[in-house]
């Protein structure tokens, strides 16, 4: 048995490093030694990893909104260059930071099981703080997302919404001058900061960003990939397949297909959220818990909801779609994409 080292491109932020380490540990665990260690025929090569960290344009330009200088791609470009130059074997991203479709040279090789997809509201005092709907008129709430702003305004048009950027700690620090801030629950939980949350918005109150809570693993596509300098990483696809969560991959495919069909990025107030639902209508919040409990069922129902802010009518458009997904089928990802595309068409008919 030999040692294989996976080189993983990641951003340098504390959250990115925490998430990448989490994903890397999951990859190693999924590819750990099997069978009797004394039986070399039943043992996989020992897999380790090293992080190749870097600062992206999105990390450097904190004085401007993302929409003003390139949108989502500004958080992944440098990592993709590392893949192309052979400095890394894979890159780990928050899926919500990725464009709706990766460039032709790359592919979305795998995703991890989704973390809590909801948005969280934080006010001074943490769990004991003032809840969002209880804020006094004119209170100031910080967020860097126009998706959040249009939905927050629908709930509380009497509040002032202040644009903020920066890492999690920087944005939480804004509570010294603001009455509240809105952040993704997944990042807070992965950083051990859930105790700072005053309340979570339900997905009925606020639809999360497409891909929110999902960690994505990107690689070169089969045509672009060159042989790795590490002997044994030629089976990279198989290594990553062992950690891929099929249900979450379908969820991600549906949500990103919706964005692509609408030609939307972070400069648009648009969002989609997909989740598998049980036959009794109980929703699994995208975590697919019921899928594990009901593995004997061939098809699962995937429900996807979407919003789109129409500037002309100044209305927040909504639509939803659902359909059966056969997770054992080679067509499951395309089935999920079709649901997202159909949802986008339903939105477009309202324009």
Catalytic annotation, residues: 96-97, 147-148, 165, 171, 266
Listing DSSP states for 101-170 in one string gives S--TTEEEEEEPPP----EEEE-TTGGGS--GGGSPTT-EEE-S-HHHHHHHHHH-TTSEEE---S-HHH
Across the chain, which distance is largest between two alpha carbons, in Å?
A: 69
Beginning with the edge strand found earlier in the chain, give each strand of the sheet holding 315-326 in spatial order.
270-277, 299-310, 315-326
Q: Answer whether 49's CB lies under 8 Å from 9's CB.
A: no
What span, in angstroms and rounded, lies between the C-alpha atoms of 312 and 273? Answer: 24
What span, in angstroms and rounded, lies between the C-alpha atoms of 247 and 287? Answer: 9
Q: Answer whether 2's CB lies under 8 Å from 232's CB.
A: yes
Q: Answer whether 197's CB lies under 8 Å from 185's CB.
A: yes
Q: Which residues of 174-185 are buried (b: 16+ CB within 10 A; e: fewer)?
A: bbeebbbbbbbb
3-state helix/strand/coil string of 9-68? EEECCHHHHHHHHHHHHHHHHHCCCCCCCCCHHHCCCEEEEEEEEECCHHHHCCCCCHHH
Q: Answer whether 322's CB lies under 8 Å from 348's CB.
A: no
List CB contacts of 29: < 8 A, sequence separation 6 or more. Answer: none
What span, in angstroms and rounded, lies between the C-alpha atoms of 253 and 259? Answer: 10
List CB contacts of 238: < 8 A, sequence separation 6 or more. Answer: none
Strand 90-94 vs strand 3-11: parallel, antiparallel, or unpaired? Answer: parallel
- The two three-digit tokens of residue 37, written as one number: 């260690």
Place of tokens 């989502």: 72
């Amino acid at each position: 048995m030999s040692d294989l080292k996976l080189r993983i491109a990641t951003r340098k932020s504390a959250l990115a490093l925490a998430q990448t380490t989490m994903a890397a540990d999951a990859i190693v665990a999924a590819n750990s030694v099997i069978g009797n260690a004394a039986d070399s025929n039943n043992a996989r090569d020992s897999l380790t990893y090293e992080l190749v960290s870097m600062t992206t344009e999105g990390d450097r330009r904190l004085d401007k909104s993302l929409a003003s200088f390139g949108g989502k791609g500004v958080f992944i470009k440098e990592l993709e260059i590392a893949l192309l130059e052979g400095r890394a074997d894979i890159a780990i991203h928050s899926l919500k930071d990725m464009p709706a479709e990766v460039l032709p040279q790359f592919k979305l090789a795998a995703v991890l099981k989704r973390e809590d997809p909801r948005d969280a509201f934080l006010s001074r005092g943490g769990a004991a703080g003032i809840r969002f709907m209880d804020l006094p008129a004119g209170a100031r709430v910080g967020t860097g997302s126009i998706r959040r702003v249009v939905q927050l305004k629908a709930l509380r048009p009497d509040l002032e919404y202040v644009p903020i950027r920066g890492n999690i700690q920087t944005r939480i620090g804004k509570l010294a001058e603001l009455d509240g801030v809105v952040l993704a629950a997944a990042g807070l939980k992965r950083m051990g900061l859930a105790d700072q949350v005053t309340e979570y918005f339900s997905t009925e109150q606020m639809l999360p960003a497409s891909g929110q809570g999902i960690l994505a693993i990107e690689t070169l596509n089969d045509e672009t990939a060159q042989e790795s300098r590490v002997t044994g990483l030629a089976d990279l696809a198989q290594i990553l397949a062992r950690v891929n969560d099929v249900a979450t991959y379908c969820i991600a495919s549906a949500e990103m297909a919706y964005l692509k069909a609408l030609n939307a990025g972070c400069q648009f107030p648009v969002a989609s959220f997909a989740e598998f639902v049980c036959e009794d209508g109980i929703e699994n919040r995208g975590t697919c818990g019921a899928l594990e409990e009901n593995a004997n069922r061939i098809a699962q129902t995937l429900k996807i909801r979407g919003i789109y802010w129409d500037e002309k009518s100044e209305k927040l458009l909504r639509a939803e779609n659902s359909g059966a997904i056969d997770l054992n089928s080679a067509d499951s990802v395309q089935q999920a994409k079709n649901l997202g595309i159909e949802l986008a068409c339903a939105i477009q008919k309202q324009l």
